[in-house]
Structure formats: structure tokens, C-alpha cells
């Protein structure tokens, strides 16, 4: 059954409205952030080495993404109980992010509010009721979670909320990665005939793309916790409404492909910090993007590399959805091999070369 032109029109309209609102409102939000004191000043940071910029830059820019998404959603999507709960939780996350961008709140307090926001979404029906069984040889194709559905869904939403926040370390990185993941999710939603999910994701894509020109290197404004935690939260809830509803292997694997970069970076960061006897919430300069910078990449190059990785994972998710696991794995393997070759070429081009005199002395 082909995708209806009416749905395509609604998706395009939702994306366009969110894009224009975010594009127009970002300069307004920038001025508001300066007046409210929501400014990222590396000179006042306890650990300035983590910062990739030297001048004060306004944050809280994610508010433009939020407003674009919310207004577009209210125009094009019917307000079901599930959606009301998701939006109420999102508003809580946004308010928390605004205060955090201004006052730098304590991590435990933020975690408590994030759990409360996730609980609101869960209690209004946004629940992972089933998980597909990754063991393809098992007689049970999926697991019914029962009472475990609530804590598992809350953990998923809170984890994604913080995962996107953790990769927000370079100009345009988190916003661009979420744009690519959202566009992939949009394609999958259209292929699986999920109109509500498709329109929601289209509104999110539009908001991100409208803000992105102001956030690319050199950034004029950061989206701050206001934007990064919102993006993580809303993507997690949308994936619960769409991807996790399928009773196939796809529902287990696809979310981890779509959000592979933030999930990997968060898991790696937590394991690294615990291994060094630090709190999992302790900030450091060892995220994937920091390591790329330390390897010799510029900010733009590092962001481009991570964009490509996200796009590869997203394309693999689409292939998995449409063509099956074998083709998706072959595609992912081919891209990984090509990436390894490209990195080796880059290393060869940037490796310090010894002078001829040094070689003669060794000889």
C-alpha cells in the first residue's frame, strides 16, 4: 500500500511550520538568554579544558526548537491522552533546562525531575509493553514485560534524556545528530504507516533544522540543557509510541541503531568514570567528540565524522526495517570497513614525519 499524498502533505507542512518558527525565534531567544544570564562563559567554568570555545556564548537556544515543535504539533496532531502526557513531561524538562542553563542546578535534583517527567509520560500510556526476543532460536518471539514495563520505560526515557545531553559538546553536534536520527525515524514511520509518529517526528526535524544554522561552528548560540534534554526526552517517548510497538526483532534493534551514538557515548562515559572511582555524573573530557579533537580533527571535521556515523546507523535501521537483518548487517559491516580505511588514511596524512637526517642517524 503506497504512502498517501495527504500524509506526505501533513508531514511537509508540520516540518515547514516548525522550521520557520525555530528559524525566526532563535535570535529572539538569544537576546532573552543574554538578559536572563543564560550564558556559557568558559572563564567561569571549574574545568575550562572541557570547553571548546573561549568566548561567552548564550545558551538556552533549545527553547526555539521547543516552541517550533510544540506549535507545529498542536496544529497538525490530535491531542490524545498519550500525547498530552508526553507534552506535559516535555514542558517539565524544558522548564528544568531553562533553570539549569541559568543557575547550573545539582545533578541529583535534575535526575529527580527527569524521573517525574518520565513517570507522567508512562502513566498516560507511553509504555514499552513488549520487547522482542533477541534470541531468534527461542520459541517466544517477544517478552511481555507486565509490571516491569513501567520501570523499564522510565529508565529508557531518563537514559535517552541524559544521553543526548552528554554528546552536546561541539558546535552543531547534538542538534545535527538528533536531526539525522529524527529524519531516519520519519522514514521508518512512513514505511510502517505510523502517521501520528511521522508528523511528530517531522515537527521535531523542522525545529532542529531551523535552529541548526545558528548552532553550527562557529556557534552564535548553544541550545543548552533546555534543548538537549528536551530532544532526548521527546525522541525517547516517540520511539516508545512507534518502534517498540512492533512485535519483531526490529523493535529491539532499531532504537539502538537510531540512537547508537549517544547510547554508546553514555555507556562508555559511565563505565570509564566508575572504573576510575568517579561518580557516573562527573563531567570529564573523554567523550567521543573530545577524543576526535585530541586525535587531530578540527571541530567541523569531528562533527562531520559523527554525522556520518549517525547516518550510517540510521541507514542500517531503514534497511533492517525494509529488507531484513542480513542485508542490514552486511551494509553496516561494509560502511564500518570503509570508515576504518578512511581513518587509516587520515592518520597517515597527519602523522608527524621524521626528517631525512633523523632517518640517517638511525641507520
The reply to whether 269 falls in a domain is no
Count the domains in the chain.
1
Cis omega (within 30 of 0) for bond into 297: no
What is the C-alpha to C-alpha distance for residues 114 and 132, in angstroms, rounded to an integer? 26
Burial of 264 (0-12, 13-18, 19+ CB in 10 A): middle
Q: Given 3-state DSSP classes, what are the helix, strand and coil percentages for the chain, each rounded to the nearest 5? A: 75, 5, 25
* Domain encompassing residue 88: 5-248
Does the pLDDT of residue 352 top 50, yes or no? no
Dist CA 291 CA 327 (whole Å): 31
Question: In this predicted model, which residue has the larger pLDDT, 119 or 143?
Answer: 119
Joined grid coordinates for residue 68: 517550533
Grid coordinates of 42? 568558559
- The radius of gyration of the chain from alpha carbons, rounded to an integer in Å, stands at 21
Residue 67 lies inside a defined structural domain of this protein: yes
- Phi, psi at residue 98, to the nearest 5°? -60, -50
- Domain assignment present for residue 155? The answer is yes
Question: Please, where are the H alpha helices in 192-259?
Answer: 195-215, 224-241, 250-258
The answer to which of 10-14, 137-141, 200-204, 274-278 has the lowest mean pLDDT is 137-141
Predicted TM-score (pTM) of the model is 0.86
Assigned domain for 261 exists: no
Instruction: Please provide the average confidence, as pLDDT, over all residues in the chain.
Output: 83
Residue 131 φ/ψ, nearest 5 degrees: -125, 135
Q: Is residue 242 part of a domain?
A: yes
Instruction: Supply the pLDDT for residue 276.
Output: 75
pLDDT in tens, 307-325: 988 888 888 888 877 766 5
Q: Is the pLDDT of residue 363 over 90?
A: no
Q: Are 85 and 120 in contact (CB under 8 A)?
A: yes
- 13 alpha-carbon distance from chain centroid: 23
Kindly state the DSSP code that residue 273 receives in the 8-state scheme: H
Residue 288 lies in a domain: no
CA 183 to chain centre: 12
Give 359 or 100, the one with higher predicted confidence. Answer: 100
Instruction: Cell numbers for 128, please give them.
Output: 514499552
Distances 311 to 44, 182, 279 between C-alpha atoms, Å: 36, 11, 32
Answer yes or no: is pLDDT of 354 > 50. Answer: no
% of the chain beyond a pLDDT of 70:
77
Mean pLDDT for the stretch of residues 223-234: 95
Give, in order, the Cα–Cα distances in Å from 84 to each of 10, 242, 327. Answer: 20, 16, 38
- CA atoms of 239 and 268, how far apart (whole Å): 23
Q: Is residue 267 part of a domain?
A: no
In a domain, residue 72? The reply is: yes
Amino acid at each position: 500500500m503506497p504512502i498517501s499524498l495527504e500524509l506526505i502533505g501533513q508531514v511537509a507542512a508540520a516540518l515547514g511550520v516548525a522550521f520557520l518558527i525555530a528559524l525566526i525565534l532563535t535570535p529572539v531567544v538569544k537576546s532573552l538568554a543574554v538578559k536572563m544570564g543564560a550564558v556559557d562563559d568558559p572563564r567561569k567554568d571549574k574545568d575550562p579544558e572541557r570547553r571548546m570555545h573561549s568566548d561567552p556564548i548564550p545558551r538556552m537556544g533549545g527553547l526555539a526548537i521547543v516552541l517550533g515543535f510544540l506549535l507545529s504539533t498542536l496544529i497538525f496532531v490530535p491531542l490524545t491522552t498519550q500525547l498530552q502526557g508526553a507534552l506535559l513531561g516535555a514542558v517539565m524538562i524544558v522548564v528544568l533546562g531553562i533553570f539549569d542553563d541559568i543557575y547550573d542546578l545539582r545533578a541529583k535534583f535534575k535526575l529527580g525531575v527527569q524521573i517525574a517527567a518520565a513517570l507522567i509520560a508512562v502513566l498516560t500510556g507511553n509504555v514499552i509493553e513488549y520487547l522482542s526476543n533477541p534470541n531468534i532460536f527461542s520459541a517466544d518471539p517477544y517478552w511481555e514485560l507486565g509490571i516491569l514495563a513501567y520501570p523499564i520505560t522510565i529508565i529508557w526515557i531518563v537514559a535517552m534524556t541524559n544521553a543526548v545531553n552528554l554528546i552536546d559538546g561541539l558546535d552543531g553536534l547534538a542538534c545535527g545528530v538528533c536531526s539525522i536520527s529524527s529524519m531516519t525515524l520519519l522514514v521508518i514511520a512512513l514505511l510502517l504507516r505510523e502517521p501520528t509518529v511521522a508528523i511528530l517526528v517531522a515537527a521535531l526535524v523542522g525545529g532542529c533544522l531551523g535552529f541548526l544554522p545558528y548552532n553550527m561552528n562557529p556557534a552564535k548560540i548553544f541550545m543548552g540543557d533546555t534543548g538537549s534534554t528536551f530532544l532526548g526526552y521527546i525522541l525517547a517517548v516517540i520511539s516508545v509510541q512507534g518502534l517498540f510497538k512492533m512485535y519483531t526483532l526490529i523493535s529491539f534493534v532499531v532504537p539502538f541503531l537510531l540512537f547508537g551514538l549517544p547510547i554508546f557515548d553514555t555507556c562508555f562515559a559511565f563505565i570509564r568514570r566508575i572504573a576510575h572511582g568517579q561518580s557516573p555524573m562527573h563531567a570529564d573530557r573523554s567523550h567521543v567528540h573530545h577524543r576526535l579533537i585530541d586525535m587531530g580533527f578540527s571541530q567541523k571535521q569531528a562533527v562531520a565524522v559523527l554525522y556520518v556515523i549517525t547516518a550510517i546507523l540510521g541507514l542500517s535501521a531503514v534497511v533492517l526495517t525494509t529488507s531484513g537483518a542480513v542485508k542490514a548487517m552486511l551494509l553496516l559491516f561494509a560502511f564500518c570497513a570503509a570508515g576504518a580505511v578512511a581513518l587509516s588514511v587520515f592518520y597517515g596524512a597527519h602523522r608527524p614525519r621524521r626528517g631525512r637526517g633523523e632517518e640517517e642517524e638511525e641507520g
